[in-house]
Amino acid sequence: MKKKSIPIGRPSVLRHANAHSILKLLRECGSCSRADLVRASNLSAPTITNVVKDLLAEGLVEPLGEGESSGGRPPDMIRFKAERGCLLAVEISAESISLLLTDLNGNELDTSKFSLLKQKTTPEAVCGYIGDELKALLKKQKKTREQLLALVVGVPAITNVEEGSVLSISTLEGWRSVPLRVMLTKIANCLVIVENDMNLAALGEHYCGTAQAEKNFVFINIGTNVGAGIFLGGRIHHGSQWSAGEIAYLRLPSISRRQPTIHEFGELEMVLTSSGILKSWQEETGKAARTGREIDAVGILNLAQAGDPRAEKIVLHRAEIVADIIVDLSLILNPGLILLGGEVGSHPALIDLVRKQLEGDEFAVTKVGSSAPGNRAVLWGAISLALDAIPGVLLPQPAL
Amino acid sequence: MKKKSIPIGRPSVLRHANAHSILKLLRECGSCSRADLVRASNLSAPTITNVVKDLLAEGLVEPLGEGESSGGRPPDMIRFKAERGCLLAVEISAESISLLLTDLNGNELDTSKFSLLKQKTTPEAVCGYIGDELKALLKKQKKTREQLLALVVGVPAITNVEEGSVLSISTLEGWRSVPLRVMLTKIANCLVIVENDMNLAALGEHYCGTAQAEKNFVFINIGTNVGAGIFLGGRIHHGSQWSAGEIAYLRLPSISRRQPTIHEFGELEMVLTSSGILKSWQEETGKAARTGREIDAVGILNLAQAGDPRAEKIVLHRAEIVADIIVDLSLILNPGLILLGGEVGSHPALIDLVRKQLEGDEFAVTKVGSSAPGNRAVLWGAISLALDAIPGVLLPQPAL
């Protein structure tokens, strides 16, 4: 016999999968009877009874007593105990650390933000700030450290999710090959997941944003930098070395072929980002970089929308490049939707021109949408990962 | 309760999944005992006994009597009956129809080829040729029509696999929105699957070619036309409108932004294909198109390899474009391997120059490989799909 096949049918694996889907149903419905679960899950009554027993033992479910009878014996109602624990989402950017604490149903309990400006930003320092913020949040919400079941952190870098390590963040001090999961596990003492921020943003858009109905879509962020999260067949596509979606170095019609090294900005990134737009504005208006402070990229995009011809010219150049990116992504991946996010990417001045560029193009069949600004997609994507991880944390692991 | 979850744990679904994996193990090992299957599958002995009973009833497995004892009672050996039926792979191209008949273990029984040159090529005519070839093959191999369990056909077009319909083949007459599965089911009276030829080529490379070890890879064909099959996470990525991998219209540094209509050749395709290479050669050597007949694209690639400077210049231009495609695919998808196939794509003169273009590029981390010419990847990809479909055809369907 050559090799082992995947043991799809092992009872312990199966029981875990069943517990997972039942927990999800319970989370969605709040309270219901076992008979409701049988109907909604298509699983057998004995299976439901067994899984609910496990969940009761773990304190994830509580009995509510008898429900309303529809003629026969009134059903025993049960309820998902979302307050049994909490989940933490963390977003690390070049400027700040954002945190979001939710209950086990993903209901927001509290948030906090820690500015990294003028702070030490080594991995150790950043983990220290996260620990302090977490402690304050738990105290304020009257939760114990033991109640925190999962911490999911998003970083602006190529991330090995399996190892929980971060390849490199050029904008922070000493962030090369950082074993971030190990470091944060010491602080939080719970399940820790490390992910690329753009992947989390895509998950967030799927969980509660503009892409909830999509099976295949791409989230493109254009702001301080340029990146993408690629969601295919219902999950994030990571690639063979965890670097899928690193679109900042794409070769396109108006971009030269010269390749930067891996720690440099790509030419495309130098043009599309907020700082690239500001630089073009300074060149266009003849103002020196120093006095350019009075306006920022969003200001220039606003001017373009108001009809300023110099700003319009700058934005048109970006719209052409973004349209090229969208056409290439559409041809390769044929996603159902491409979502533009970030302060540049989601600005109406840019999106309107991008849509104009794509008009009449038989190949850009993909819908182009805009991510709602300020929707905290990275944090909500982190929470959606944490929610999926609950059964793995609380229920006995299947023996393989 | 909001919605139904996937019924992962239903016994009938489970039994079907188990039968599928046991059938695969049996196919791989030829003959073995039930105890061997328990060890290799990680499934329980009663499960194996039940599934083998189903397979015996279907005539897919036969008892071989007692095997060699390793001390205790000698085991009852069973054997997969690959001769119980047969599978047909069909590849439709602009020039010909190729057929490959195998047994239920994917062992080649016979092949045939039907030239479409100077023939009527309407969908009805093509289906007629396939019917005639199939009849001849079955007769020669002494198989009945009932023994044919599956027919998988590859077409050079965007294909809706769910509907079994072909969007458009511009090189054949009247191939617009063709319900090919329905048409072929009337002829073959068995399970029919219709797929894009590049997707099948990728599957073939995964089944028995250069990409057997890869979980994520892209197969790029460059020959009469340009296309790609995208294999991600262990399966073909089709996209939201079945058009993923249509790379012939990519926007790249040396390609203008003008977009052709969907039935035209893309500019990239006009340069990279065999006919594009021939055209450049005619321009380079000053020979008229009419007298260019004496050499073909492969001849020009051979000249480049032998050091002819005019041919080298032509191939270098193509290598630069192919390198651009590879860089963009690597950045977006981060596949473990990019395979170049087709008479232009797999030619050493091109591949060597492509590799040189990618040297020192920190972003083109992807391995670049060459598809073995003449390996009939499309046909073998079709057989691999047919093999996967056997349990679905022969075993009782799970009731959902």
**β-strand pairing of B86-92 with B96-103:** antiparallel
Over 70: is that where the pLDDT of B30 sits? yes
A21·B32 Cβ contact <8 A: no
Mutation pick from A240, A326, A337, A365 vs chain B, by most beta carbons of B within 10 Å, is A240
Dihedral over alpha carbons A46, A49, A50, A55 (to 10 degrees): 160
Question: Which chain B residue has the Cα nearest residue A235?
Answer: B233
- pLDDT-derived band at B347 (thresholds 50, 70, 90) equals very high
Q: Report how far apart, in Å, the C-alpha atoms of B270 and of each of A372, B57, B154, B279 are.
A: 41, 56, 23, 9
Split into its structural domains, chain A has a count of 3
Q: Clarify whether residues B224 and B338 are in a common domain.
A: yes
Set of chain A residues whose Cβ sits within 8 Å of the Cβ of B196: none
Question: Which chain A residue has the Cα nearest residue B263?
Answer: A362
Q: Which two tokens stand for residue A190?
A: 């719970």
Set of chain B residues whose Cβ sits within 8 Å of the Cβ of A47: 9
CA angle B243, A370, A170 (to 5 degrees): 90
- Are A278 and B367 spatial neighbours (Cβ–Cβ below 8 Å)? no
Distance CA A170, CA A158 (A): 11
Helix, strand or coil, per DSSP, at residue B65: strand
Name the DSSP letter for residue A154. Answer: E
Q: Which of B228, B252, B335 is the closest to A240 by Cβ?
A: B335
Domain end residue (candidates: A24, A47, A80): A80
Q: Clarify whether residues A231 and A153 are in a common domain.
A: no
Q: Would you state the pLDDT for residue B317? A: 95
Mutation pick from B20, B199, B333 vs chain A, by most beta carbons of A within 10 Å, is B333
- What residue type is B128 in one-letter code? G
On whether residue B137 sits in a domain, the answer given is yes
Domain end residue (candidates: A80, A109, A132): A80
Q: Which two tokens stand for residue B92?
A: 């439709």
Closest-CA distance, A221 to chain B, in angstroms, reads 14
B241·A24 Cβ contact <8 A: no
Q: Clarify whether residues A302 and A352 are in a common domain.
A: yes
Name residue, tokens 């309990």.
A109
On whether residue A171 sits in a domain, the answer given is yes
On whether residue B5 sits in a domain, the answer given is no
List, in order, residues 6 or more apart from B55 with CB less than 8 Å away.
Answer: B19, B22, B23, B26, B61, B395
The CATH number of whichever domain residue B40 belongs to comes to 1.10.10.10
User: Tell me: the pLDDT tens digits for B300-340?
Assistant: 999 999 999 999 999 999 999 999 999 999 999 999 999 99
On whether residue A5 sits in a domain, the answer given is no
Q: Would you state the pLDDT for residue B2? A: 37
Q: Clarify whether residues B38 and B116 are in a common domain.
A: no
Query: How far is C-alpha B344 from the geometric centre of its chain's CA atoms?
Result: 19
Set of chain A residues whose Cβ sits within 8 Å of the Cβ of B9: 14, 17-18, 21, 43, 47
Print the domain residue range for B21.
11-80
Distance CA A142, CA A110 (A): 11
- Are B67 and B34 spatial neighbours (Cβ–Cβ below 8 Å)? no
List, in order, residues 6 or more apart from B135 with CB less than 8 Å away.
Answer: none
B43·A10 Cβ contact <8 A: yes
Q: Clarify whether residues B75 and B90 are in a common domain.
A: no
A2·B28 Cβ contact <8 A: yes
Q: Which run of H or of E encompasses A341?
A: strand A337-341
Q: Which of A2, A9, A365 is the closest to B18 by Cβ?
A: A9
A250·B336 Cβ contact <8 A: no
- Are A231 and A203 spatial neighbours (Cβ–Cβ below 8 Å)? yes
Closest-CA distance, B41 to chain A, in angstroms, reads 5
Question: Which chain A residue has the Cα nearest residue B243?
Answer: A334
**β-strand pairing of A31-33 with B191-196:** unpaired
Q: Clarify whether residues A193 and A132 are in a common domain.
A: yes
| ipTM given for this complex | 0.90
B363·A262 Cβ contact <8 A: yes
Set of chain B residues whose Cβ sits within 8 Å of the Cβ of A29: 1-2
A230·B332 Cβ contact <8 A: yes
Over 60: is that where the pLDDT of B400 sits? no
Closest-CA distance, B255 to chain A, in angstroms, reads 6
Closest-CA distance, A236 to chain B, in angstroms, reads 11
Q: A207, A228, A125, A256: which is closest to A383 by C-alpha?
A: A207
Closest-CA distance, A102 to chain B, in angstroms, reads 22
Closest-CA distance, B241 to chain A, in angstroms, reads 7
On whether residue A108 sits in a domain, the answer given is yes
Question: Which chain B residue has the Cα nearest residue A30?
Answer: B1
Q: Which of B240, B252, B361 is the closest to A253 by Cβ?
A: B252
Q: Would you state the pLDDT for residue B10? A: 52
A vs B: CB pairs below 8 A: 210
Question: Which chain B residue has the Cα nearest residue A27?
Answer: B1
Q: Would you state the pLDDT for residue A87? A: 98
Q: Which two tokens stand for residue B32?
A: 């073995």
On whether residue B348 sits in a domain, the answer given is yes
- Are A195 and A385 spatial neighbours (Cβ–Cβ below 8 Å)? yes
Closest-CA distance, A288 to chain B, in angstroms, reads 31
Name the DSSP letter for residue B95. Answer: S
Q: Which residues of A78-91 are buried (b: 16+ CB within 10 A; e: fewer)?
A: bebbbebbbbbbbb
Over 60: is that where the pLDDT of B9 sits? no
The CATH number of whichever domain residue A289 belongs to comes to 3.30.420.40
On whether residue B140 sits in a domain, the answer given is yes
User: Tell me: the pLDDT tens digits for B47-70?
Assistant: 888 888 888 888 888 988 877 777
On whether residue B165 sits in a domain, the answer given is yes
Q: Which of A8, A216, A239 is the closest to B21 by Cβ?
A: A8
B239·A324 Cβ contact <8 A: no
Q: B256, B94, B251, B282: which is closest to A324 by C-alpha?
A: B251
Q: Which of B29, B331, B362 is the closest to A2 by Cβ?
A: B29
Q: Which of A6, A24, A42 is the closest to B10 by Cβ?
A: A42
B237·A333 Cβ contact <8 A: yes
Helix, strand or coil, per DSSP, at residue B145: helix
User: Tell me: the pLDDT tens digits for B203-220?
Assistant: 999 999 999 999 999 999
Distance CA B361, CA A264 (A): 13
Give the bridge partners for A290, in sequence order.
none
pLDDT averaged per 10 residues in sequence order, chain A, 400 residues: 42 71 84 87 85 86 80 82 95 96 96 96 97 98 96 96 93 93 96 98 96 96 94 96 93 76 74 94 76 81 96 96 95 96 96 92 81 89 94 65
The neighbour count for residue B77, using CB atoms within 10 Å, is 17
List, in order, residues 6 or more apart from B336 with CB less than 8 Å away.
Answer: A240, B214, B215, B216, B217, B366, B367
Helix, strand or coil, per DSSP, at residue B237: coil
Domain end residue (candidates: A57, A80, A103): A80
For residues B93 and A1, the model is more confident at B93
Q: Would you state the pLDDT for residue B11? A: 57
Distance CA A324, CA B323 (A): 18
Q: Which of B11, B245, B259 is the closest to A363 by Cβ?
A: B259
Q: Which residues of B210-238 are buried (b: 16+ CB within 10 A; e: fewer)?
A: bbeebbbbbbbbbbbbbbbbbbbeeebbb
Phi, psi of B112 (to 5 degrees): -155, 165
Question: Which chain B residue has the Cα nearest residue A329?
Answer: B332
Set of chain B residues whose Cβ sits within 8 Å of the Cβ of A36: 1
User: Tell me: the pLDDT tens digits for B172-192?
Assistant: 989 999 999 999 999 999 999
User: Tell me: the pLDDT tens digits for B269-305?
Assistant: 889 999 999 999 999 888 655 554 589 999 999 999 9
B331·A246 Cβ contact <8 A: yes
Q: Which two tokens stand for residue A362?
A: 């038989």
Q: Clarify whether residues B141 and B226 are in a common domain.
A: no
- pLDDT-derived band at B8 (thresholds 50, 70, 90) equals very low
Q: Clarify whether residues B162 and B223 are in a common domain.
A: no
Helix, strand or coil, per DSSP, at residue A13: helix
Question: Which chain A residue has the Cα nearest residue B357?
Answer: A257
Mutation pick from B48, B235, B240 vs chain A, by most beta carbons of A within 10 Å, is B240
Helix, strand or coil, per DSSP, at residue B114: strand
Please state the rounded mean pLDDT for residues B127-134.
98
Q: Clarify whether residues B358 and B280 are in a common domain.
A: yes
Q: Clarify whether residues B34 and B111 are in a common domain.
A: no
Set of chain A residues whose Cβ sits within 8 Å of the Cβ of B18: 8-9
User: Tell me: the pLDDT tens digits for B234-248?
Assistant: 999 999 999 999 999
Q: Clarify whether residues A190 and A315 are in a common domain.
A: no
Q: How far apart are the first and last CA of chain A?
A: 19
Q: Which of B7, B29, B335 is the closest to A41 by Cβ?
A: B7
Distance CA A43, CA A179 (A): 41
B333·A328 Cβ contact <8 A: no
Closest-CA distance, A40 to chain B, in angstroms, reads 5
Q: Which of A36, A242, A333 is the closest to B239 by Cβ?
A: A333
- How would you class B282 by CB atoms within 10 Å of its CB: exposed for 0-12, middle for 13-18, buried for 19 or more? middle
Q: Clarify whether residues A229 and A352 are in a common domain.
A: yes
Closest-CA distance, A335 to chain B, in angstroms, reads 5
